[in-house]
């Protein structure tokens, strides 16, 4: 990766506790390049006006930026149409949108059924379904974090309403075979949601190649701002589902007796949208596209492979979701996060002491308590990479880890 890329991220040159920052918490959120921060400032300084409803110049300019951003998202994930791109607050809101509207849709037909999820889901792909009355059926996984496809095939029943699985585990970095999962679901006539929170920042995601019916991702994990994300849905589904929230923008006509709804995608976007956020997200997507998602993926795969190899030389370390065989290791965890524990040391203590050395990692259950139960742990330490991380930083992390272990 070109060294000047780091200069685009001013925060990377700051220090913490008098040491250079080594930021290895990218799965939680990524840092922002100047281009994104400047786009936000520029829009507030020079363009700001509410979108869609104004005849005046600024409103039209803000609307153009917002709608061009929708097109940038469409292109980035290769959706058919901008009608399929709904702006939300992020992955969590996208999944809540689907769970709520599907439950409402089903309640018209008299039944709220089952949703198939995997053992490794983030809470945001578990709780929204529960809140809306769906019963969860769970795809089991092996100790290495590989989903059991035979068991998956047996989970379908006439009550199955959705398959909802994560593309990449936010704990183990495992890339799930979502094309195969989608194909099988479709053979059963069941639609599929893919949680793309951890895949979109690290690899090319292509809606037409994946074939899924719904897809969700968050702007802040792909170098964009917080508070903006995307819900993708196939038009045939979005036409069928009822609106999510009510308010301005999502209506065609309102009376006290009867309200009609706007066309796609506005039917799902009640109220003033985060039009500055959508524009800044588009700038972030253009930024990564210019580098190239394949280049980013390759760079991060090299970092992950190197990190796992180095970590395996540390006595007492246990890496989760990685087989003992190094070839499987590299394949499985080539999309970012690597989780581990060190025998006899609490994960929180490890994280706290690494922080004192300037190394930012995440500790805890990573919003995946059912996965922690499956792994038989209370929590882990997780490192995760972004496009700006370097081999030198991994060396600093490994040296820091050895030092912390020696202290115990």
Considering the candidates 367, 383, 387, 401, report the single residue annotated as catalytic.
367
**Piece of 38-46, 67-75, 122-130, 257-265 that binds ligand PMP (CB under 6 A):** 122-130
**Which one of 160, 164, 166, 339 is in contact with ligand PMP (CB under 6 A)?**
166
Preceding omega of 247 cis (within 30 degrees of 0): no
Closer CB to ligand PMP, 156 or 217, in the complex: 217
Residue 164 interacting with ligand PMP (CB under 6 A): no
Stretch that binds ligand PMP, among 8-16, 126-134, 190-198, 293-301 (CB under 6 A): 190-198
Closer to ligand PMP by CB, 36 or 404: give it: 36
- The nearer residue to ligand PMP, 69 or 262, going by C-beta atoms, is 69
Q: Site residues for ligand PMP, window 278-307 (CB under 6 A)?
A: none
What is the Cα 269 distance to its own chain's centre?
20
Contact of 242 with 266, CB cutoff 8 Å = no
Of 65-73, 90-98, 266-274, 280-288: span binding ligand PMP (CB under 6 A): 90-98
Q: Where are the alpha helices (DSSP H) in 78-136?
A: 91-108, 127-131
Q: Is 195 in the site for ligand PMP (CB under 6 A)?
A: yes
CA nearest to 103, candidates 113, 94, 95, 93: 113
Three-point CA angle 148, 154, 157, nearest 5°: 140
What tokens were used for 167? 């593309």
Distance of alpha carbon 151 from the chain centroid: 26
Tokens of 19: 């040491």
- Show contacts with ligand PMP in window 11-70 (CB under 6 A): none
Task: Show the CA angle centred on residue 142, arms to residues 136 and 144, nearest 5°.
Answer: 125
* DSSP single-letter state for residue 5: G
Element (H, E) at 63: helix 57-77
Binding residue for ligand PMP (CB under 6 A) from 26, 72, 92, 304? 92
If binding is defined by CB under 6 A, does position 200 make contact with ligand PMP? no
The distance of closest approach from Cβ of residue 252 to ligand PMP in the complex, given in angstroms and rounded to an integer, is 30
The DSSP code sequence of 250-295 is: SEEEE-SS-EEEPPTTGGG--SS--HHHHHHHHHHHHHHHHH-HHH
Q: Please give the Cα distance from 200 to 222 (Å, whole number).
A: 7
330 tagged catalytic = no
CB of 221 to ligand PMP, least distance (A): 6
From 30, 72, 91, 101, residue interacting with ligand PMP (rule: CB under 6 A): 91
- For residue 163, the SS3 value is strand
Nearest distance from C-beta of residue 315 to ligand PMP, angstroms: 30
When the beta carbons of 191 and 196 are compared against ligand PMP, the nearer one is 196
Query: Is 39 in contact with 68 (CB distance < 8 Å)?
Result: no
Q: H-type helices in 109-177, by residue range?
A: 127-131, 149-153
Task: Show the binding pattern over residues 237-276: x = contacts ligand PMP (CB under 6 A), - = does not.
Answer: ----------------------------------------
**Near ligand PMP by CB under 6 A, which window of 75-83, 118-126, 279-287, 371-379?**
118-126
**What is the rounded distance in angstroms from the CA atom of residue 59 to the CA atom of residue 92?**
29
Nearest distance, CB of residue 31 and ligand PMP, angstroms: 15
Residue 90 is inside which H or E element, if any? none
Total residues at interface with ligand PMP (CB under 6 A): 13
Query: What angle (nearest 5°) sits at the alpha carbon of residue 2, between those of residues 65 and 20?
Result: 95
Q: Which stretch binds ligand PMP (CB under 6 A): 9-17, 136-144, 194-202, 239-247?
A: 194-202
Q: Candidates 96, 119, 160, 218: give the one binding ligand PMP (CB under 6 A).
A: 218
Binding site for ligand PMP (CB under 6 A): 90-92, 122, 124-125, 166, 170, 195, 197-198, 218, 367
**Active-site annotation, residues:** 367
């Amino acid at each position: 990766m070109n060294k000047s890329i780091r200069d685009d991220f001013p925060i990377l040159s700051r220090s913490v506790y008098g040491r250079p920052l080594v930021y290895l918490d990218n799965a939680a959120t990524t840092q922002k390049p100047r281009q994104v921060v400047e786009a936000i400032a520029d829009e507030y300084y020079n363009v700001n006006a509410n979108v869609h409803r104004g005849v005046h110049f600024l409103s039209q300019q803000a609307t153009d930026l917002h709608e061009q951003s929708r097109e940038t998202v469409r292109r980035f994930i290769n959706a058919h149409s901008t009608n399929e791109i709904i702006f939300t607050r992020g992955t969590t809101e996208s999944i809540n949108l689907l769970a709520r509207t599907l439950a409402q849709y089903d309640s018209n037909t008299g039944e709220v059924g089952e949703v198939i999820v995997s053992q490794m889901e983030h809470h945001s792909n578990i709780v929204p379904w529960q809140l809306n009355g769906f019963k969860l059926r769970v795809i089991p996984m092996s100790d290495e974090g590989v989903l059991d496809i035979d068991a998956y095939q047996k989970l379908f029943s006439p009550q199955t309403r959705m398959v909802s699985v994560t593309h990449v585990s936010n704990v183990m970095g495992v890339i799930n075979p979502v094309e195969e999962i989608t194909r099988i679901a479709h053979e059963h006539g069941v639609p599929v949601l893919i949680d793309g929170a951890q895949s979109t920042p690290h690899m090319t995601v292509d809606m037409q190649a994946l074939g899924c019916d719904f897809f969700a991702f968050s702007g802040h994990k792909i170098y964009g701002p917080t508070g903006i994300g995307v819900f993708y849905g196939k038009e045939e589904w979005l036409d069928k589902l009822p609106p999510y929230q009510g308010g301005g923008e999502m209506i065609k006509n309102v009376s006290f007796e009867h309200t009609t709804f706007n066309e796609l995608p506005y039917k799902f976007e009640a109220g003033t949208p985060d039009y500055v956020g959508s524009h800044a997200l588009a700038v972030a997507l253009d930024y990564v596209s210019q580098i190239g998602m394949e280049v980013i993926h390759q760079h991060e795969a090299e970092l992950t492979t190197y990190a796992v190899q180095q970590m395996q030389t540390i006595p007492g370390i246990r890496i989760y979701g990685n087989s003992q065989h190094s070839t499987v290791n590299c394949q499985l965890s080539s999309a970012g996060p690597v989780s581990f524990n060190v025998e006899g040391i609490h994960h929180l203590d490890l994280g706290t002491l690494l922080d004192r050395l300037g190394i930012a990692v995440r500790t805890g259950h990573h919003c995946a308590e059912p996965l922690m139960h499956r792994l038989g742990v209370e929590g882990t330490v997780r490192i995760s990479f972004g496009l700006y991380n370097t081999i030198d930083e991994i060396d600093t992390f490994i040296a820091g880890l050895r030092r912390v272990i020696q202290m115990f």
